[in-house]
Chain A
Amino acid sequence: MTSVKNALEARQNKEYVSALTELLFQLADDDFILAFRGSEWLGLAPHIEEDVAFSSITQNMMGHAFMYYQLLEQLGEGTVDELAHERSGKKRKNAIMLEKVNGLGTYLQSPKFDWAFTVVRHYFYDVNKKIKLDCLQDCSYEPLKHAAINIRKEQYYHLVHWETWFKQLVKAGGEAKTRMMVAVEKVWNEFDDVLSLGPRGEVMANYQLIDREDVIRQTFMNTIGDVFENLELGPLPKLKEMKKSGRIGEHTEDLEKALATLTEVYKKEPSSSW
């Protein structure tokens, strides 16, 4: 597969551009919705210094989503803000695990958010994000390859940040470890979706957009398996099969509520400049 230099070239091949678009929506929507969940934590994190650091990670992630939406904009999918604010749940390709609420309550009322869940979800997500970004260093679509080269540099901090939290809270034992193990189970039960590239994964791999899904999955399982072993958490359980998949636009109530919140002002006057 020779490299494809820009949107114009990509559009010469219908199958190519549709697989590319699909991949970009997954990448963008994943970062966007998890960044939204991160933004709900602002001001409410367990420790003030962490609140500040966490917000930088959230901003970075939303910035990454922005870059992917920009690539979609170049491919004629609509403007960045239309893509982020006007698409209904059915059109969103993010994994279901990433849209799940942070815990009980809302960010405005009784926010009994679950820090253990947040740490585990972010950590596992970032392990996988890193693997995907590694693959994208060889992506056939040049603009995506370049975006991934830049994003990968910034994302390394995210990975180390969540890894530090994950390991320390697990090692702390007692209540913290119990909470962490509950969170691990919760995240693990619905993580299959995050590792999925959706029905067009094959085509993506054939066009050298990204590695094959089974290769990515294997790398992920090996990485997390090592972490489990080092922390003496026993063997890695098998991932559960899921009834729904965000990769084909199937979502939960949580996403609908999130979309209502994040588009509240935009929808007042979508055509206005804000």
Chain B
Amino acid sequence: MVEKDQKEHGFYEVFEVFSKRSHTSPMQYQFSLLAPNHEMAFILAQENFMRREPVVDLWVVKRSDIRKMTEEERDLLKRLDNKSYRLTKGYGYLRKKWREYEQRMFDEKEIFSWGETGDDKRKKRTGSKAK
């Protein structure tokens, strides 16, 4: 399989399209399209891949600008499942410990709740009631 010079065939370039569904959601990969340049890719992207869903932000990236991993390099990503020391599951025994001191465990749920405003809490309550 010979990799021919793409310019010889001279068709448009591949652009990868990413979009955000809402202001709180992360950028998400959608699909790829052919376009002659970034501006053109921009005006084609939404109607090609998100005709029926909301979009609040859009990125187009020239595929050739992405440093992709080869299959061989993906071996770099493998690791053992022995890292409980860096996970909360390695510290579960604390729940019992704190109980001895008549204290609650500050787990993920508890700690994240500290960031909630009164509004969030009310929403949660009515939300769960509705269920």
A interface residues (Cβ-Cβ under 8 A, vs B): 47-50, 52-53, 55-57, 157, 160-161, 164, 168
B47 with A160: CB separation less than 8 A: no
A56 with B40: CB separation less than 8 A: no
Question: Which of B35, B44, B46, B51 has the most chain A CB atoms closer than 10 A to its own CB?
Answer: B44
Alpha-carbon separation in the docked complex, A236 to B120 (Å): 58
Residue of A nearest to B39 (CB): A164
Q: Cβ of B91 < 8 Å from any Cβ of A?
A: no
B39 with A49: CB separation less than 8 A: no
| B71-114 contacts to A (CB < 8 Å) | none
A168 with B47: CB separation less than 8 A: no
Once A164-B43, A168-B39 are accepted as A-B contacts, the answer to whether A49 and B51 lie under 8 Å apart by CB is no
Q: Cβ of B29 < 8 Å from any Cβ of A?
A: no
| B17-72 contacts to A (CB < 8 Å) | 33-37, 39-40, 42-44, 46-48, 51
Residues of B within 8 A of A52 (CB): 44, 47-48
How near does chain A come to B114, taking the closest CB pair, in angstroms?
39
**Total A-B pairs in contact (CB under 8 Å)?**
32
Alpha-carbon separation in the docked complex, A176 to B42 (Å): 21
B interface residues (Cβ-Cβ under 8 A, vs A): 12, 33-37, 39-40, 42-44, 46-48, 51
Residue of A nearest to B51 (CB): A56
Alpha-carbon separation in the docked complex, A56 to B47 (Å): 7
Alpha-carbon separation in the docked complex, A57 to B33 (Å): 19
Once A164-B39, A168-B39 are accepted as A-B contacts, the answer to whether A53 and B12 lie under 8 Å apart by CB is no
Residues of B within 8 A of A53 (CB): 43-44, 47-48
How near does chain A come to B51, taking the closest CB pair, in angstroms?
7
Residues of B within 8 A of A161 (CB): 43
Alpha-carbon separation in the docked complex, A52 to B51 (Å): 10
Partner of B40, one of A57, A157, A168: A168
Partner of B35, one of A49, A55, A57: A49
Question: Which of B12, B36, B37, B47 has the most chain A CB atoms closer than 10 A to its own CB?
Answer: B47
Alpha-carbon separation in the docked complex, A257 to B39 (Å): 37
How near does chain A come to B32, taking the closest CB pair, in angstroms?
10
Residue of B nearest to A158 (CB): B43
Alpha-carbon separation in the docked complex, A39 to B47 (Å): 16
Residues of A within 8 A of B43 (CB): 53, 157, 160-161, 164
How near does chain B come to A59, taking the closest CB pair, in angstroms?
9
How near does chain A come to B53, taking the closest CB pair, in angstroms?
13
